[in-house]
Amino acid sequence: MPEQTILRTCAENLDYGVSVEIGATPIRLRTSSPAFFRLLEDRYGGFLGQAPKPSYELDVELHSPTPNSPRADLEVSRNQNVWRISRGDFWAEWDTQSRRGHVRQSPNPYSIDTVLRILHSLVLTEEGGFLVHAASAIRNGRAFLFSGVSGAGKTTISRLAPPDVTVLTDEISYVRKCNGVYRAFGTPFAGELARVGENVAAPIAGLFFLDKGPENRREPIGDSAAAAALLRNILFFAEDPALVQTVFQSACDFVRCVPVSRLVFRPDPAVWETIV
């Protein structure tokens, strides 16, 4: 078959497209499968947009899963302006200049979820932002981040939120620097709550590192300790020395601009009176 015919056939097959807009960054996903298209619509419900010009476009090719494939290690690499990522259950690449890419995966939502997280983490790095293991929520027009390792209480603090609090996520927070101000955006990356966050954003008024205890109290943390703790929780997957240095600088800049505290709390809704 002539090359021109192949290209036309591929274009005709990718009839189903959806724009997933996280952190005000729309990424258009195109597929030939109506079933996978519906799966994407269901999973990213409140984060679907109609941006006429998406930031990135990814063509998703589906294939049958192979036994035990997700066990293979994640690899993220760059060759000039092309990023490539692979794991046992998917392979993907995108060009930072053309802003187009290709994903080959089995028909499940978890592979494309990982691709989106990695793509956003790389985009944010260049803007001074980051993805971080943290719950986040908005109250009175201000956003608060609650970070910690698994079991620290991210989901608990989200469950305890009073009715006037808008939960952005209980698992992975999206931090972006907009006109010199750090803002937290809602994400569809859910944790134990199994519920996507709200697709809204607000300026960040504080970062709390969680620690369960017998009482509710907050303790200030110095910039050096705060930056070190933040770096341990930032999601970054590429072994790229220049970008690693950029992430380090972003963490230092963030803690100099945003108040950081250790929040000791017990599972009681009254903790929110300590926060705000």
CB 168 within 8 A of CB 138: yes
Could you report the per-residue pLDDT of 87-141, keeping only the tens digit for each? 989 999 999 999 999 999 999 899 999 999 999 999 999 899 999 999 999 999 9
CB atoms within 10 A of CB 267: 11
pLDDT per position as a tens digit, 200-211: 999 999 999 999
Q: Is the pLDDT of residue 8 over 70?
A: no
Res 4 pLDDT > 70: no
Cα–Cα distance list, 152 to 50, 102, 130, 181 (Å): 37, 37, 20, 27
The predicted structure's pLDDT at residue 196: 84
Q: What digits encode the pLDDT tens for the residues 42-67?
A: 999 999 987 778 999 999 999 887 65
For residue 68, pLDDT over 60 is answered with no
Tokens matching residue 14? 């990718």
CA distance 263 to 248: 23
For the stretch 222-269, pLDDT in tens is 999 999 999 999 999 988 899 999 999 999 999 999 999 999 999 999
Q: Is the pLDDT of residue 13 over 90?
A: no
Band the pLDDT of 150: cuts 50, 70, 90: confident
Strand pairing of 260-265 and 217-220? Answer: antiparallel
Sorted by sequence, the CB contacts under 8 Å of residue 18 that are 6+ apart come out as 28, 29, 37, 40, 41, 44, 48
> Which sign does the torsion angle of CA 138, 39, 109, 56 carry?
negative
> 82, exposed or middle or buried, with CB in 10 Å at 0-12, 13-18, 19+?
middle
The DSSP bridge pattern shows strands 166-169 and 172-178 to be unpaired
Q: What is the pLDDT of residue 15?
A: 81
Predicted confidence at residue 148, as pLDDT, reads 87
Bridge partner residues of 172 (DSSP): 133
State how far the alpha carbon of 209 is from the alpha carbons of 57, 90, 217, 221, 267, in Å: 36, 34, 12, 9, 15
Please give the domain boundaries of the chain with CATH numbers for all domains: 3-125 (no CATH), 130-275 (3.90.228.20)
> How does residue 9 score in pLDDT terms, banded at 50, 70 and 90?
very low
Q: What is the pTM of this model?
A: 0.90
Helix, strand or coil, per DSSP, at residue 163:
coil
Q: What pLDDT was estimated at residue 182? A: 98
Structure tokens at 100: 């187009």
